[in-house]
């Protein structure tokens, strides 16, 4: 079952809708977005929830929204693109209010000199990153595959694990510092992980419609040859970023089971992007239930082959979550 009617969403940019219709849709969507059940979600997560609602309750929504009271004369087929356009605009508004300042000043790029061994014009790197993310987020597929990684960055919960990893100096620390040879402080590692997460979805820019099905395109697992092609193309577009960062970002979409060479930061980004896709901040833990992170890592350990995760990393992250009560 598709996440939402693909054909209609794909053409949303081409739909000529009157501004008043989009504004009207925004009013309705604004009320939907203020639903208490969406509290604790990031803008992209909320967007995904609304799209899911459109899919699962289309038969109930269609007659209500196309009635005289709301959008008279519209059919569900013509109305849905308007709703989606309005939804994307509302999401972008919320998303970029936070993301733009973060990319311009909040994001730490102090790791760059360690990797390039030379001065890097940070301002231009930030501009390139911003432009690329805006491009990724223009397509529905890009938005869906970006939900997890951007939520991980926005919520920031994954970075506390870097602190714990550096304290434990166990498997993940060894993989980062010895195997990947990132001999730098944990703050720099956090920076690398952030950029890896931000660029993880960049592969969708190179997925042509004919290449895969929609589900494949948002599935998040890509093949090695395709990944190398994406890395080369990306390197031409954001040449200021070291190749190793781009490799880390794109390899984060590959299965570790089939590609044992994948960088530790890519493996971590893959896990955290998946974990934060459905993460909800401030969700109370019911009595009798385990903590959210511990539960998630426990389930992920059982599904590690399915998702292509590094089981040893999951084991360590599970231990950290259990010890810290996360």
Stretch that binds other proteins, among 56-64, 129-137, 176-184, 237-245 (CB under 8 A): 56-64
Among 10, 15, 49, 102, binds other proteins (CB under 8 A): 49
CA distance 277 to 162: 19
According to CB under 8 A, which one of 7, 11, 23, 35 is a site residue for other proteins? Answer: 35
Interface with other proteins, residue 53, by CB under 8 A: yes
The angle formed by the CA atoms of residues 25, 130 and 262, to the nearest 5 degrees, is: 110
Tell me whether residue 211 or residue 285 sits nearer to other proteins (CB atom): 285
Encode burial over 302-324: b for 16+ CB neighbours within 10 A, e otherwise.
eebeebbbbeebbbbbbebbeee
Give the relative orientation of helices 264-277 and 292-302 as an angle to the nearest 10 degrees. Answer: 120
Using CB under 8 A as the binding rule, whether residue 213 contacts other proteins is answered as no
H helices of 34-101, where? 43-56, 58-65, 76-101
Residue 87 tokens read as: 């939804």
CB of 230 to other proteins, least distance (A): 22
Alpha-carbon gap, residue 57 to 67, rounded angstroms: 16
Nearest to 272 by CA among 298, 301, 252: 252
Say whether residue 116 binds other proteins (CB under 8 A): no
- Among the listed ranges 48-56, 191-199, 237-245, 313-321, the one in contact with other proteins (CB under 8 A) is 48-56
68 binds other proteins (CB under 8 A): no
- Candidate ranges 114-122, 182-190, 203-211, 289-297; the one touching other proteins (CB under 8 A): 289-297
Q: Cβ of residue 54: shortest distance to other proteins, in angstroms? A: 9
| 57-to-62, 67, 87, 278 alpha-carbon distances in Å | 8, 16, 16, 20
When asked if residue 38 is in the footprint of other proteins (CB under 8 A), the reply is yes
Q: Is 7 in the site for other proteins (CB under 8 A)?
A: no
Q: Per the structure block, which two tokens stand in for 98?
A: 């936070």
Interaction of residue 326 with other proteins, rule CB under 8 A: no
Task: Give least dist CB 81 to other proteins, A.
Answer: 19
By the rule CB under 8 A, 128 interacts with other proteins = no
Contacts of 94 (CB under 8 A, 6+ apart): 43
Tell me the residue length of the chain.
326
The single residue among 224, 295, 315, 319 that binds other proteins, judged by CB under 8 A, is 295
Q: Residues 10, 290, 311, 312: which binds other proteins (CB under 8 A)?
A: 290
Binding-site size for other proteins (CB under 8 A) equals 41
Of the pair 162, 300, the CB lying nearest other proteins is at 300
Residues 215 to 274: which contact other proteins by CB under 8 A?
Answer: 215, 219
Residue 14 in contact with other proteins, rule: CB under 8 A: no
Structure tokens of 301? 């350990």
CA 226 – CA 230 distance, rounded (Å): 6
Nearest 10 degrees: Cα torsion 205, 207, 208, 209: -110
The minimum distance between CB 293 and other proteins, in angstroms, equals 10
Going by C-alpha positions, the residue among 255, 253, 268 that lies closest to residue 162 is 268
Provide the binding-site residues for other proteins, judged by CB under 8 A: 1-3, 28, 31-32, 35, 37-38, 49-50, 52-53, 56-57, 60-61, 64, 69, 215, 219, 278, 280, 285-292, 294-296, 298-300, 302-303, 306-307
């Amino acid at each position: 079952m598709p996440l939402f009617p693909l054909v209609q969403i794909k053409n949303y940019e081409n739909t000529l809708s009157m501004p008043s219709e989009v504004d009207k849709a925004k009013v309705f969507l604004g009320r939907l977005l203020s639903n208490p059940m969406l509290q604790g979600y990031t803008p992209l997560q909320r967007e995904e929830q609304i799209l899911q609602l459109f899919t699962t309750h289309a038969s109930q929504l269609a007659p209500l929204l196309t009635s005289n009271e709301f959008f008279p004369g519209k059919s569900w087929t013509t109305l849905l693109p308007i709703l989606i356009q309005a939804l994307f605009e509302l999401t972008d508004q919320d998303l970029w209010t936070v993301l733009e300042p973060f990319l311009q000043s909040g994001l730490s790029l102090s790791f760059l000199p360690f990797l390039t061994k030379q001065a890097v014009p940070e301002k231009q790197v930030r501009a390139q990153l911003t432009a690329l993310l805006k491009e990724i987020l223009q397509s529905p597929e890009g938005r869906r595959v970006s939900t997890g990684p951007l939520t991980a960055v926005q919520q920031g919960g994954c970075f506390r694990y870097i602190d714990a990893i550096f304290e434990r100096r166990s498997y993940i620390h060894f993989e980062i510092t010895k195997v990947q040879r990132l001999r730098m402080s944990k703050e720099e590692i956090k920076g690398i992980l952030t950029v890896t997460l931000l660029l993880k979805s960049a592969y969708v820019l190179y997925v042509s419609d004919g290449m895969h099905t929609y589900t494949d395109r948002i599935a998040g697992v890509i093949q090695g040859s395709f990944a190398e092609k994406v890395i080369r193309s990306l390197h031409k577009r954001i040449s200021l970023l070291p190749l190793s960062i781009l490799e880390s970002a794109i390899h984060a979409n590959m299965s570790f089971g089939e590609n044992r060479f994948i960088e530790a930061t890519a493996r971590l980004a893959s896990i955290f992007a998946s974990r934060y896709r459905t993460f909800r901040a401030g969700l109370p833990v019911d009595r009798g239930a385990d903590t959210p992170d511990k539960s998630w890592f426990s389930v992920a350990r059982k599904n590690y082959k399915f998702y292509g995760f590094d089981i040893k990393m999951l084991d360590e992250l599970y231990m950290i979550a259990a010890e810290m009560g996360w």
